[in-house]
Amino acid sequence: MLLEKLTSACGLPGFEDEVRDIIKAELERHADSIKVDRIGNVIVFKKGKKDSPHIALSAHMDEVGLCINGIERDGTLKFASWGVDSRILPSMHVLIGKDKIKGVIGNKPIHLQKEAEQKQVYGIDAMYIDIGCDSKEEAEKLVHKGDFVAFSSQFVAFGTNKVKAKALDDRVGCAAIIEIMKMDLPISVTGIFCVQEEIGLKGSAIAAQSLDADLVINIEGTICADMEGIEESKRVTTQGAGPCLSLMDMTSIYSKRYLEAIVKVAEDDKIPYQYRRTGMGATDAGRYHAGGAGTPCIGIAVPCRYIHSPVSVMHKNDYENLVKLIEAFIKKGAERVIG
């Protein structure tokens, strides 16, 4: 399964090579051109039966994780975080560097904690990664400062059409673009697979400077908290209710004209959809609509529970309906609205 292959790959910011290789292999027989720019973005172009309009689909390849920044005398490792809540880290299994050295994250055991310590949340500074070494010299033969640290988490299908995996943010977007670009398309489409989104939208800032498209559809795995005990207004999205459309976030106000056009396609084709009920967060769309000459954007996403963790959960129906909706818009709605 494509999504399993993508989420099983390790692709921390600046280390997206595994994901990039999968994308290139999947699309080499389906694209008119594939190039990798200087920062590492993959730009894939597929010429349609008509040259106009031209739509770009964008997703990011990188995932949240950690980075080694110290090796202790006892062989344990210190680390920094890329977008991870420190409260989820103790006892997590991790993979370090290109050789995927196995490790576990630990801190002081509860038996040795004072009463006051048991009531506090430990920060990253109090944690370490244990790779089974007894000395700094032994550890230095296996890992180095600057090595990425990815979660070790298997792709699991479970429950009622649900999937658990790491990096659903944003391998769902990568998978969707790959599926769409394998289709017979009536118009030209550029697929943009960005690097370093999780550390400040770095890859899309570069891609936006040379992009010449009429519209960017930014595809994401986004926040979902549709569990009991959480107020309806704070659930953001609901699993199984369809892909979600963004009105705005911290970097973008999405184009109303194109948003209304994709909603019309969804309603005409009876494809379920919902709105993302928060303005929090940021996506690569923020770079596209403000970069170069400025490109209109819409954002569409798959709701993912427990995002930015090794156990994100999505509903397969939401992903499948996201692909259907984008396909239908490209085939039926794009020419009508872009003209």
pTM of the model: 0.94
Average pLDDT over residues 45-49: 92
- Residues contacting 69, CB < 8 A, separation 6+: 78, 79, 80, 145, 146
Task: Lowest mean pLDDT of 60-74, 128-142, 143-157, 324-338, name the range.
Answer: 324-338
pLDDT score at 278: 84
Most confident of 40-44, 212-216, 279-283: 40-44
Average pLDDT over residues 38-43: 97
Distance, CA of 17 to chain centre: 15
| Residue 51 buriedness (CB in 10 A; 0-12 / 13-18 / 19+) | exposed
Task: Lowest mean pLDDT of 15-24, 114-123, 167-176, 280-289, name the range.
Answer: 114-123
Under the banding of pLDDT at 50, 70 and 90, the label for residue 112 is low
- Residues contacting 120, CB < 8 A, separation 6+: none
Give me the phi and psi of 87, to 5 degrees please: -65, -20
Residue 159 contacts residue 307 (beta carbons within 8 Å): no
User: Which residues does residue 315 pair with via DSSP β-bridges, in sequence order?
Assistant: 162
* DSSP characters over 214-255: SEEEEEEEEEE--STTS-GGG----TTS--EE-SB-SS-B--
Give the C-alpha separation, 2 to 13, whole Å: 21
228-270: per-residue pLDDT in tens?
Answer: 888 887 889 999 999 999 999 888 889 899 999 999 999 999 9
Quick one: tokens of 126? 């109090």
Q: What is the set of active-site residues?
A: 197
**Which alpha helices (H) appear in 63-167, and where do they start and end?**
115-118, 136-140
pLDDT score at 113: 63
Q: What is the biggest distance separating any 2 CA atoms in the chain, rounded to whole angstroms?
A: 70
Under the banding of pLDDT at 50, 70 and 90, the label for residue 59 is very high
Under the banding of pLDDT at 50, 70 and 90, the label for residue 107 is confident
Q: Per DSSP, which regions of the chain are E strands?
A: 33-36, 42-46, 50-60, 65-71, 77-82, 93-96, 101-106, 128-130, 148-151, 156-158, 162-165, 187-194, 215-224, 244-245, 274-275, 297-305, 312-315
Give the C-alpha separation, 337 to 334, whole Å: 6
Best CA proximity match to 165, nearest among 323, 2, 274: 2
Average pLDDT of the residues of the chain: 92
Residue % of the chain over a pLDDT of 70:
96
b or e along 12-22 (b: 16 or more beta carbons within 10 Å of the residue's beta carbon)?
Answer: bbbbbebbbeb
Give the C-alpha separation, 196 to 190, whole Å: 19
Does residue 209 have a pLDDT over 90?
yes
The reply to whether omega before 170 is within 30° of 0 (cis) is yes
